[in-house]
Amino acid sequence: MIWSIDLLILLLVVFCAVAAITVKDLLSATVIFGVYSFLMCLLWAEMGAVDVAFTEATVGAGISTVLFIAAILHTSRRSKD
């Protein structure tokens, strides 16, 4: 637990979270969400919870991104708001 690495990752997590809900393009939002998942995975691995980090890397960054893209393919890419 090194506080400077923690602070850096947490700042990047907050930045990715704000970017994912403000961007208009849903495909970009999906990719930013994948980046968010990887940063959370890094944070958990750094805190010593390796099993949770593994699950986050496989499910959050791997599968859910692909499922989001498959769902966006059948709707519209632009968000309305």
Partner 1 sequence: MKALAFVATLVIGAILLYGTMDFPAFGDPQSPASTHLSSYYIEQAIDETHVPNLVTAILGDYRGYDTMFETVVIYCAGLAVVCVLRRSKP
Partner 2 sequence: MRLLQERTANQKSSDSPIIQTSVRIMVPFIQLFGLYVIVHGHYSPGGGFQGGVILGASFVLLALAFDLKTSIRYMSESVNNILGNAGVLIFTGVAVLCSLFGGLFLDYSALDVIIPMGPIEWRSFGIFLVEVGVGLAVMSILVSLFWDLGSAGGMDEGL
Residue 78 beta carbon to partner 1: minimum distance, rounded to whole angstroms: 21
Q: Return the amino acid letter for 44.
A: W
Q: Out of 1, 74, 80, 81, which residue is the one contacting partner 2 (CB under 8 A)?
A: 74
Q: How many residues bind partner 2 (CB under 8 A)?
A: 20
Could you give the string, one character per residue 27-46, with x where binding to partner 2 holds by CB under 8 A and - elsewhere?
x-------------------
Contacts 24+ apart (CB under 8 A), 42-47: 42/9, 43/6, 43/9, 43/10, 43/13, 46/1, 46/2, 46/5, 46/6, 46/9, 47/1
Chain contacts with partner 2 (rule: CB under 8 A): 27, 50-51, 53-55, 58-59, 62-63, 66-67, 69-74, 76-77
